[in-house]
Structure 1
Amino acid sequence: MPLVSTAELVEAAAADGRGIAAFNVITLEHAEAIAAGAEQAGAPAILQISENAVKFHGGQLAALATAASTVARTSSVPLALHLDHVVSVDLLRSAADEDFSSVMFDASKLPYEDNVKATADAVRWGHERGIWIEAELGKVGGKEGEPPLDAHTPGVRTSPSEAAAYVAATGIDALAVAVGSSHAMTERTASLDHTLIARLRAAVPVPLVLHGSSGVPDEEIRAAVASGMVKINVGTALNTAFTGAVRDFLTANPSTVDPRKYLGPAREAMAETVAGFLSLLGPEA
């Protein structure tokens, strides 16, 4: 099936009252697992490569992007390719040389006015090239060693009025908001502010994005989609499945040196995790 655009998948999900999941790709096995899990669930998905993953691969985007897009093109379900949490303007611009239809440009650590200016510049650049731009407003903690942040901590949650002004000033296509989730959570204990999600949904004209969904329980994800969340980002849950499968295999088979022996189970574990998250996102879920 041809690689599709992020905009197409997000707009279709929003129109149907369901969510669309975006899963982080670090290795080829991640990409293969996302495709396999999506095929198992019979659902579309987004493969996303973060700036941190690019750094892991020596700052070289092309090889991982080509591998992920090739996996997507050979899948039997619609898949899109997204560049995530981009701080570097050079990396942003490199998206135009690959198969990315969307970028999450992350200026959230900048002061508000600087965030608006940098993001508006990214949007102008992206829209001139047909690239859909996501941005973040608020503080979704847990990124790169940051502590998790509670949704009710003063100054942490995304303000609906500020979000409306931010969307109008930047022209972004989707908005990641802080409503109680946190990056890099290995336990699914986050409690979301669903009243705030509904208020944000009413305040802004673009789809809302939930980062840090690995730490959000099933019922909270279902409720978040019902309240207005559309794009649901998942990363750590795949790594937890991957590492757990490798650890279990090597504990049982300590003399193994062929990586295919343990990467196979790791890929299967990630595919099951993908299928599980996708099962939560339909309007009937």
Structure 2
Amino acid sequence: MKILLIPIIITFIYTIIASLSDIKYNIISNKLVFSLLALGFLINLIFTIYFNNLFFILSSIISTVITFIITYVLWKFRLWAGGDVKLITAISAIIPINFLFLNEILMPKQLIFIPFSIHLIINSLLISFPFIIIYILIIKLKNIDKKNLLAKIKCELILFNIKQSINKFSTNLIDVNNLNEGMILDDYLFDNDTYKLINEFLLLEDDSNLIIRKSSSGYKLKSNTCGGLTSEDILVLKLLYDNDLIDKKLFVKISIPFAPSICIAYIISLFYGNLLFLFFN
């Protein structure tokens, strides 16, 4: 059964490369994830022929479909970026189940299975959550006046609000001319009088990732998904600035690379399983 180690090793190498790319460039290459996806189907097709068992290719296809639906929903809720969705979907294609614990005798009986990617998704979220909280706390402490540090810390601990903290401290002020693709625009508030003018610019771009939402004080312009700004979105924002509809500097969210969490979760999922079992045990 050593042949089953091949996709495990390949996937580990891919997740390392994706993590380094996400940390350095804040992006996961489409060529990387699509090549892993293609390898996944190819390897499981080879396993199907080698073991004379349709389980491998069928489980790969089913796992990919289920994983894409779940991760797509998470993407729509802006919990993940598009690259993270593609990476986990590709992993689900090459490793539909945990090959380390696959018993050749049981293979024909494993037609109903829980995809390996389910454990991977849960573990990725559980691993990333503490890092995000620590990251937010560090940024919050950096913004506290050191003269009243103790009093401020007590106040923060009592009134700590994750959503408010993210909005307040996890953004950078960027010149509109220095915007890059993938940056996530934070809520930009404007009044009712400017709504029609800004909306007209957005209507010109069918594939825009910018969206206008109603707020308590008027309207807000923001990125629609974690996919961030496209080249067309950046051109629209520059046009809005040139027409004095928005400020020259905009707040964009500080992105936290998620691929390293997926890489760590991949290893944990392989050798331990689902971290939720810790709570149940």
Higher relative contact order (CA 8 A, sep 6+): 2
Larger radius of gyration: 2
Higher percent of residues as helix: 2
Normalising by structure 1, we get a TM-score of: 0.24
